[in-house]
């Protein structure tokens, strides 16, 4: 059993973490006799943060925990009764609530793209409506941070990145779940102790400037730390002056306190100033002193662009600590996922597709019960395109398949020699959890493997190549047939 599975057994009941209008709609469905009507909802997003070419799916484990713990307590019912707007029969329904939906999700760590369903819910419309808030909250937040972390880790070009953002996060939950998502995205460690306890993410840390300032001299601070942690000494060298004080004092302690014990220093940390210049000079000083194995950790408001630039400038940085710009995704702090009705199921099992029309064409939804299929080249394993299909469709891997741009339909490509993988996997069937629960390390490794399946052009920070997300012909026919029908009806109403 993974660390997260053990943690999930004691998961907090978040049933009441719901936008209030979910309750008013649910009460209305009940009052109108809709409580057993089967609905299909999709969660998707419209735009990749930071103008990137891809995002990363994260948060499924917490979604599973939430859905598994859906129960209304007596105090919840009492609170709702006190609002004075809900039917007593509806409150009785909630008191005896049992989650009965089917839920599918794209696995954590998988690259994801705009407009494709990330989570699909099928079930009684009251239940499918009530879970909207937590689906969006959970997937939006962790996918945002995992995406930002992956950008930062790719900029580091193989050098380890530690998530340093707990103190800058939006609250304790943001710090903890942000550390989890950052690890999925590629971070090697975290400063958050609880994240190691709960998720097994390696927690690391050294000293603050206050430690150095607490002693009469900088060298006394370093000596004391070396005595306490001889095998884990990383010295913060920028409290006073990096090159004139910090590095020379660190070297002195390495020679006089660590070497006699047979210990080697782990590293130094630079947290201010011109990182490129200081790291180059510090590297030479360490090498000349016989400490070529001493690592240089740099921090100080880093992001993917700063890291990329200082590496290009020849900075001698071995590790990066990244805080506020990662844990808050400061450059673009909103993921923007939405949750929309896609269909209603009749008693005979047939699905009536539903479409949301908008004057903003990007907000027009994709109707029906759907699946997302990723086409991988059999020669090299690269991702070719994603195809959103109707749920019952099958793509023949042994033949030729034509993909086309849903907006500019003359842009077509016929592919062959591919493997077709459905991405939406079942996580709940009739309210019962049916998914595997991989460890966080397994999710992180899976993410790294899947990112490798994307072409470098898609991975660019600026002006990435747009990854193809197409509709199958039957789904395209359905959507645009509905649009033509709606347009005709609307035209008939214009005076």
Q: What is the pLDDT of residues 189-245, one digit of tens each?
A: 999 999 999 999 999 988 999 999 999 999 999 999 999 999 999 999 999 999 999
Could you tell me the pLDDT band of residue 362, with boundaries at 50, 70 and 90?
confident
E strands, 271-405, in order = 295-298, 319-322, 338-345, 351-353, 370-377, 383-390, 401-404
Q: Are residues 168 and 300 in the same domain?
A: yes
Question: Is the pLDDT assigned to residue 7 strictly greater than 80?
Answer: no
What is the number of H-type helices and E-type strands within the chain?
18, 21
Task: Give the pLDDT of residue 358.
Answer: 84
Q: How far apart are CA 122 and CA 345, in angstroms?
A: 9
- CA–CA dist 81, 86 (Å, integer): 7
Q: What is the CATH number of the domain that holds 59?
A: 3.20.140.10
Q: Say yes or no to pLDDT of 350 above 60.
A: yes
The region, left, alpha or beta by phi > 0 then psi within -120 to 50, assigned to residue 74 is alpha
361: pLDDT confidence band, cut at 50, 70 and 90?
A: confident
Last residue of a domain, one of 276, 301, 327: 327
Are residues 424 and 370 both part of a single domain?
Answer: yes
299 & 346 share domain:
no
Q: Is a pLDDT exceeding 80 seen at residue 9? A: no
Residue 492 has a pLDDT of: 67
Q: What is the pLDDT of residues 247-291, one digit of tens each?
A: 999 999 999 999 999 999 999 999 999 999 999 999 999 999 999
Q: What is the mean pLDDT of the chain?
A: 95
The total number of structural domains in the chain stands at 2
| 8 Å CB contact between 275 and 298 | yes
Residue 221, domain extent? 148-327
Is 202 found in the same domain as 285?
yes
- The residue among 271, 298, 327 that closes a domain is 327
- Residue 352 pairs in a beta bridge with 344
Domain edge (last residue) among 327, 357, 373: 327
Average confidence (pLDDT) over 105-125: 98
pLDDT category of residue 3 using cuts at 50, 70 and 90? very low
pLDDT at 393: 96
**Same structural domain, 288 and 301:** yes
**CATH code for the domain in which residue 322 is found:** 3.20.20.70
pTM (predicted TM-score): 0.95
Q: Do residue 243 and residue 342 come from a single domain?
A: no
The sign of the dihedral angle between the CA atoms of 177, 178, 181, 186 is negative
Domain identity same for 409 and 430: yes
**Are residues 313 and 338 located together in one domain of the fold?**
no
Q: Are residues 122 and 196 in the same domain?
A: no
Residues 267 and 385 in one domain: no
**Is the same domain home to 129 and 153?**
no
Specify whether 276 is located in the same domain as 368: no
């Amino acid at each position: 059993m993974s660390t997260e599975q053990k943690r999930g057994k004691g998961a907090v009941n978040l049933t009441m973490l719901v936008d209030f209008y979910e309750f008013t709609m649910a009460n209305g469905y009940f009052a109108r006799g809709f409580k057993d009507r089967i609905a299909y909802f999709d969660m998707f997003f419209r735009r990749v943060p930071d103008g990137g070419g891809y995002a990363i799916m994260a948060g499924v484990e917490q979604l599973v925990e939430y859905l598994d713990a859906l129960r209304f307590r007596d105090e919840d019912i009492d609170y709702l009764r006190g609002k004075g707007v809900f039917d007593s029969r509806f409150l009785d329904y909630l008191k005896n609530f049992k989650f009965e939906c089917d839920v599918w999700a794209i696995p954590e760590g998988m690259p994801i793209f705009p407009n494709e369903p990330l989570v699909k819910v099928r079930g009684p419309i009251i239940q499918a409506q009530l879970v909207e808030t937590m689906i969006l909250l959970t997937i939006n937040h962790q996918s945002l941070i995992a995406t930002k972390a992956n950008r930062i880790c790719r900029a580091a070009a193989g050098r380890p990145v530690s998530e340093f953002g707990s103190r800058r996060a939006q609250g304790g939950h943001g710090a903890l779940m942000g550390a989890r998502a950052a690890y999925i995205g590629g971070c090697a460690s975290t400063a958050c102790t609880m994240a190691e306890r709960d998720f097994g993410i390696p927690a690391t840390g050294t000293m603050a400037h206050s430690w150095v300032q607490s002693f009469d001299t900088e060298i006394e601070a370093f000596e004391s730390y070396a005595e306490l942690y001889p095998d884990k000494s990383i010295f913060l060298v920028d409290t006073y002056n990096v090159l004139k004080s910090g590095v020379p004092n660190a070297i002195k302690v390495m020679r006089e306190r660590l070497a006699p014990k047979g210990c080697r220093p782990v590293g130094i940390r630079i947290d201010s100033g011109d990182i490129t210049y200081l790291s180059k000079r510090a590297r030479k000083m360490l090498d000349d002193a016989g400490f070529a194995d001493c690592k240089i950790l740099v921090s100080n408001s880093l992001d993917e662009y700063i890291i990329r630039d200082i590496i290009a400038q020849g900075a001698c940085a071995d590790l990066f600590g990244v805080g506020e710009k990662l844990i808050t995704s400061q450059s673009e702090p909103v993921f923007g996922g939405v949750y929309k009705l896609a269909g209603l199921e009749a008693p005979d099992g047939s699905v009536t597709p539903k479409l949301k029309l908008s004057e903003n064409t990007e907000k027009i939804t994709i109707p029906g019960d759907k699946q997302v299929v990723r086409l991988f080249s059999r020669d090299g394993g690269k991702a070719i395109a994603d195809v959103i299909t109707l749920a019952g469709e099958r793509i023949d891997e042994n033949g030729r398949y034509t993909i086309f741009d849903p907006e500019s339909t003359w842009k077509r490509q016929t592919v062959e020699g591919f493997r077709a993988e459905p991405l939406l996997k079942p996580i709940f069937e009739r309210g019962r959890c049916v998914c595997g629960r991989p460890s966080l390390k397994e999710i992180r490794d899976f993410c790294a493997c899947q990112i490798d399946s994307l072409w470098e052009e898609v991975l660019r920070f600026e002006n990435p190549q747009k990854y193809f997300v197409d509709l199958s012909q039957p789904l395209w026919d359905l959507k645009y047939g509905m649009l033509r029908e709606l347009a005709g009806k609307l035209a008939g109403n214009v005076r």
